[in-house]
Amino acid sequence: MKNIDSYTHTRGESIYLDDIPVVAGTLYGACFDSPVAHGKLISIETAEAAKCEGVFRILTYKDITGENQIGGIIPDEPLFADHHVHFCGMPIALVLADSDEHARAALHKIKVNIEPLPVITDPREAAAKGELIIPPRKFKIGEVDTAWAGCEYIFEGQADTNGQEHLYIETQGAYTIPQENGVIRVYSSTQGPTAVQRAVSKTTGLPMHQIEVDVTRLGGGFGGKEDQANTWAALCALATHVTKRPVKYSLHRMDDMRMTGKRHPYSSDFKIGLDKDLKIIAYEATFYQNAGAAADLSPAVMERTLFHCTNSYFIPNVTATAFCCRTHLPPNTAFRGFGGPQGMFVIEAAIAKAADELGIDATVIQQNNLLVTGNELPYGQKVVSEANECWNEAMARFEFEKTTKAVETFNASNKLYKKGVAIMPICFGISFTNTLMNQSRALVHVYTDGSVVVSTAAIEMGQGVNTKILQVVAQTFSISPEKVRVNSTNTYRIANTSPTAASAAADLNGKATLIACETILGRIKTVAAAELKVDESAIELKDEFVYANGTKTEWDWKKIVLTTYNKRVSLSEHSHYSTPDIHFDKTKEKGHPFAYHVYGTAIVTATIDCLRGTYEFDSVNLIHDFGTTMNKIIDKGQIEGGLVQGIGWMTLEEVVYDKNGKLRSNALSTYKVPDIYSVPKEINIGFLQTQKDNLAIFRSKAVGEPPLMYGIGAFFALRNAIKNFNPEAKTEFNAPMTPERVLMNLYAKKLVTV
Ligand code: MTE
Ligand code: HPA
Ligand code: MOS
């Protein structure tokens, strides 16, 4: 089934925040944000700005009617700077004017006096100075300290990954409209309507039932709007609360890039030990996470780094330690993979380092250590593994030996172009790592004409979750998809929502929808059984008809629905789903946090131009574990998009802050994201379809985040290509591998290894 949004998307009719008709009297907001990364805020001068054309009012922390606090996990983030600024881009004042242009023009007249304080941008420096947001965490299995003695080979090194700008096509924004009795309706481009509702409630002082959050869809979120949509919604809602006027604020691209957090950069140390058969016996990793100036989601992101620090491999002795380091950058936040990719890069670097030193292909070590069913991960969960299945299928389907032979032949006969191949296996846990978040609700109404409307907590952001929800309804009732509508996500219909994140939206909301539909269906069947005078177990609904004892009756869907209503039986249901069997004990760092894992194996082939350092990806051939996919087109789209986004992170995209904490890569002219030319020339996706039972909706495994991590293979394919040009190059494990870095490595004859 096609994505249900494709019709309105292609006609330009889909409603995003900026498409909501503007109400008369709307004020436009614009933020004056800190030009300094760290300092004492001595004074804010707004008198001149207030005199500018069209300016209605200027708000600062003094105007906050509730608490000046938007921190989600830890209350450490003021909405407006009060006495200190903690990062460049921190909101200081909000100008409200009769147009966006007037609001922005007035910003230039605001003056602040800030006494600068020392700026930290490096997580290791922060850790050394004790600037930690939470105490360090440690995952441990076996005994690494004693295991080293049994290792034939031990290697150590450092592996660093940089941040990543979300670059959702729709920037952050909100539009708030006063309703009667002080209620505020909040339109927000958010993945977390309840997070927005809470932030608005806290900053305005209004109870949550005074705040209605409504979301039609997002032009992309990628994690960037899980928590960081709160700021703009809180600013607009506060302004509406104090002015009683509608307020709109939709960020310009450069403002969004400057003021919002990104994927967390990490700097990490590793030590890996193997026995003579190349089994990984011991692994030690220390992660320094660059959290930015406030907690935001960093502690949760850091936790997922630990969960995924051994990727797809079984390692009996592991100690992994992580530090959540406070720096003076905008608070970094969720980004597809949520810390998992950063952990996985480090183990892949460790394996590559071992392979370098042993003079073998990394693939030998990778394959030799893949997880098998029953293996225990460092956090205590035993896996149902598809790692070998994906690997073997990829080797066979894409004729890996032929590929490597062809690459060798190419390299032997070409001086100035070199190819490299790398394999990237993945293993990603599905569920919010915070167990309590794994719950959802759905509201289903069947109308008397047989049409159906469904509301859930899921946010459509391009990933196709609404289509999957619709499929659940249509399939369960056995009615045509045209009979079903998916409503906007609204906190008055569905309360206390978890954000659409952790790739779990289709599972959590789909299962809640399934429960609601099955409940209504049960009632309809009871009515049908009475009407047809047969046992309820003999009733079935198929293709919009009632079947009794396997025989089609003349009762169609419309007739049985209307009859159910006439019998005064409810055609509505509000259902609740919570993932069974998951738990995690943070005091022991052990448990069973994930409903299941998603596996896959990608083979990445790259060609570099050894004169210029530029490169192309010839192909990415992958086998992905979909379980039993419920929507092939959407799932394939998620793989392609995730893969390319991962390649971007690993190769082109370079977030640059200077030592004063100012973002230098602050526009699309200085920050390169993948375009059509950076997409691999060929992407072949093989479906590992398994019939095994799992906790996914219709056994169709979550697909949102895992494919991003195939992109890590791009780094290692380039690294191998460099080695084929310059065997002396000891390319550092420092992503992104930009063309500049490739060039430096191609001609680096004797880099000192760490
Ligand atoms: N796909 C599109 N097109 N746009 C997005 O913003 N976000 C990703 C992924 N795929 C995203 C996307 C992220 S970070 C997550 S967690 C999942 O979608 C969330 O949606 P799901 O739970 O329905 O998979
Ligand atoms: N994944 C994504 N988002 C989250 C998570 C998670 O595990 N926990 C809290 N927000
Ligand atoms: Mo995705 S990073 O969990 O929004």
Q: What is the full DSSP assignment across 204-255?
A: H---GGGEEEEE---S--TTTTTSTTHHHHHHHHHHHHHH-S-EEEE--HHH
**For 100-111, what is the mean pLDDT?**
98
Whose alpha carbon is nearest atom 11 of ligand 1? 222
CA distance readout (Å), 171 to 16, 369, 634:
10, 42, 23
| Predicted local distance difference test score (pLDDT) of residue 148 | 98
Q: What's the rounded Cα separation, in Å, for the pair 657 and 329? A: 8
Confidence of residue 689 (pLDDT cuts 50, 70, 90): confident
For the chain, percent of residues with pLDDT exceeding 70: 99
Whose alpha carbon is nearest atom 23 of ligand 1? 505
Confidence of residue 119 (pLDDT cuts 50, 70, 90): very high
pLDDT beyond 80 at 574: yes
For the chain, percent of residues with pLDDT exceeding 90: 98
Q: Give the distance (Å) from ligand 3 centre to CA of residue 626.
A: 19
**For 101-129, what is the mean pLDDT?**
98
| Predicted local distance difference test score (pLDDT) of residue 752 | 41
Q: Give the distance (Å) from ligand 3 centre to CA of residue 436.
A: 17
| Predicted local distance difference test score (pLDDT) of residue 754 | 38
**For 700-711, what is the mean pLDDT?**
98
Spacing of C-alpha 511 from chain mean position? 21
Candidates 499, 493, 491; CA nearest to 437 is 499
**For 417-440, what is the mean pLDDT?**
98
| Predicted local distance difference test score (pLDDT) of residue 118 | 98
Whose alpha carbon is nearest atom 4 of ligand 3? 223
Q: Is the CB of 501 under 6 A from ligand 2?
A: yes
Higher local confidence (pLDDT), 242 or 689: 242
**For 515-535, what is the mean pLDDT?**
98
| Predicted local distance difference test score (pLDDT) of residue 749 | 72
Confidence of residue 345 (pLDDT cuts 50, 70, 90): very high
Entry pTM: 0.98
Which residues line the pocket of ligand 3, CB cutoff 6 A? 191, 223, 226, 334-336, 338, 501-502, 705
| Predicted local distance difference test score (pLDDT) of residue 204 | 98
Confidence of residue 690 (pLDDT cuts 50, 70, 90): confident
| Predicted local distance difference test score (pLDDT) of residue 730 | 85
Q: What's the rounded Cα separation, in Å, for the pair 468 and 384? A: 25
486 is written with which tokens? 């998916």
Q: Give the distance (Å) from ligand 1 centre to CA of residue 335.
A: 10
C-beta of residue 226 within 8 angstroms of C-beta of residue 199: no
Residues 507-522: tens digit of each pLDDT: 999 999 999 999 999 9
pLDDT beyond 50 at 753: no
C-beta of residue 330 within 8 angstroms of C-beta of residue 89: yes
Confidence of residue 196 (pLDDT cuts 50, 70, 90): very high
**For 392-414, what is the mean pLDDT?**
98
Q: Give the distance (Å) from ligand 3 centre to CA of residue 225.
A: 9
